[in-house]
């Protein structure tokens, strides 16, 4: 077996509020899919890419319309927003702090017993993004 890539899909009520958070980190929205269940043109799915790394967001409504409809076991897809924690290794925490100034810092810098310096932000949907710089 050869796994080529693993990409998290974070479930949210609305996608639009999280896009600026990732743009501050240098991400680009490479795929935007309208929510077919919404009459107001809001997004149902987005792929945000930074170099070779990507994160996806999908609305709860889109999950219910897409994945739950196609699933053989519909009850396993909760289809509601769920808090996720992402752990991201970076070269410079100073750059992260500068880019995310004004965003919700939920864990100030700390040194870990394994030699990492870490801090964490909550994205506008409530997911926790931990950034780590190794010595």
pLDDT at 19 (0 to 100): 97
pLDDT at 63 (0 to 100): 85
Q: How many domains does the chain have?
A: 2
Query: Residues 77, 83, 87, CA angle at the centre, nearest 5°?
Result: 115
More confident residue, 113 or 72: 113
Does 68 lie in the same domain as 6? yes
What would the mean pLDDT of 17-42 be, rounded to a whole number? Answer: 92
User: What confidence tens digit (pLDDT) does each residue in 42-101 have?
Assistant: 999 999 999 889 999 999 888 888 777 777 777 777 777 888 999 999 999 999 999 999
pLDDT at 107 (0 to 100): 97
Q: Which of 51, 77, 103 is the last residue of a domain?
A: 77
Does 17 lie in the same domain as 69? yes
Q: How far, in Å, are 33, 46, 48 from residue 41 at the CA level?
A: 10, 14, 19
Quick one: CA torsion of 99, 100, 101, 104, rounded to 10 degrees? 180
Assess whether pLDDT exceeds 90 at residue 16.
yes
Q: Which residue range is the domain that position 34 belongs to?
A: 1-77
Q: Could you tell me the pTM of the whole model?
A: 0.87
Does 107 lie in the same domain as 43? no
> By the 8 A CB rule, do 130 and 106 touch?
no
Q: pLDDT confidence of 8, banded at 50, 70, 90?
A: very high
């Amino acid at each position: 077996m050869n796994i080529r890539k693993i990409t998290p899909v974070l479930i949210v009520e609305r996608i639009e509020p999280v896009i600026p958070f990732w743009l501050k980190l240098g991400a680009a929205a490479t795929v935007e899919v309208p929510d077919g269940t919404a009459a107001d043109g809001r997004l149902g799915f987005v792929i945000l890419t930074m170099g070779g790394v990507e994160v996806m967001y999908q609305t709860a409504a889109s999950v219910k319309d897409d994945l739950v409809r196609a699933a053989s076991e519909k009850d396993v897809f909760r289809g509601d927003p769920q808090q996720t924690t992402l752990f991201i290794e970076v070269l410079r925490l100073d750059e992260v702090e500068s880019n995310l100034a004004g965003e919700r810092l939920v864990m100030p810098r700390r040194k870990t017993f394994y030699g990492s310096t870490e801090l964490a932000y909550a994205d506008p949907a409530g997911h926790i993004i931990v950034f780590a710089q190794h010595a």
